[in-house]
Amino acid sequence: MEFLLRKKQRTKTNGHMNLEEFCLRFQAFLEEKPSVSQVFEVGGELLGHLVSNPGWCQEFLKKLILDSDFLNRQPASVFPNEITLHRSPDRSLSVLAYIWEPHHPSPVHDHGSWGVVGCLTNQVLERKYRRLDDGHVEGYAEMEEISSPVIEPGGISHVLPLNKGIHQMGAASDQLAITVGVYGRSIRKGYTQFFDPSKKTVIRAYSPKLFKQVLAIRALGSIAEPWAEDILEAEVPASIPDYLKNEYRSSLSKFRGGKPKE
């Protein structure tokens, strides 16, 4: 691979890579259409260089406090501690930072794409899970924890899409931690799955804006009035994604045994 043969260049500032250089190099690497294993190897090495020195993070932390435009441009996410640092126009590359307060780990969740995760400050604990059921029962998921590594600053982990990449992240101690995640093009858009291993449940987690729409669809399904069914029947756009179609179908199933009007 040509990328592997290129001489690794550094920015002039203290010999460390900054975020802009990292994004340019990672995007160029992806344009060579590497395999997922190559992404984890080469992309992990690139991310390791970025997170080996946390000095560059001062820029986005300062913007979060002082730059209202930067704050307002942040996309809504199912994770309130997520900060978007870079997103390519074609969505083939996203770079996201996560700030982990002690004792507030993420829900156990999956991903819609491959991901490479690096620890920027302090330590993070990652719990990886394997799904044991076949996913055919709505809302049910049986899980087992398969590993729980503590990732040191500069350390790297990775995730695969969907059921192959279920994990939980959080600060490993009483110190706040920061991670940086690099993600590829999503093969499942619109939602993330949140799991509760102790209760053996799984739910779809939507972004805050989309969740309002989902809640409205679900609310109509809970109202035993003809007008609620009329809205659900009339308002299903043909072009909506499958996950929203499923929400409509679920709410319509509360009327007439799930059969739409003729």
Residue pLDDT, tens place only, 211-238 = 999 999 999 999 989 999 999 888 677 7
For the chain, what is the largest distance between any 2 Cα atoms, rounded to a whole number of angstroms?
A: 70
Q: What is the mean pLDDT of residues 20-25?
A: 96
Rg (CA), the chain: 21
pTM of the model: 0.86
Q: Lowest-pLDDT range, 13-17, 24-28, 75-79, 206-210?
A: 13-17
pLDDT-derived band at 13, boundaries 50, 70, 90: very low
pLDDT (tens digit per residue) in 106-132: 999 999 999 999 999 999 999 999 999
Residue 149 DSSP class: P
Residue 168 DSSP class: E
Euclidean distance between CA atoms 25 and 5, whole angstroms: 13
CB-based contact 178:97 (threshold 8 Å): yes
The pLDDT of residue 71 is above 70: yes
Strands, DSSP E only, in 60-176? Answer: 82-87, 94-100, 108-109, 115-121, 124-131, 143-147, 150-151, 156-159, 167-171
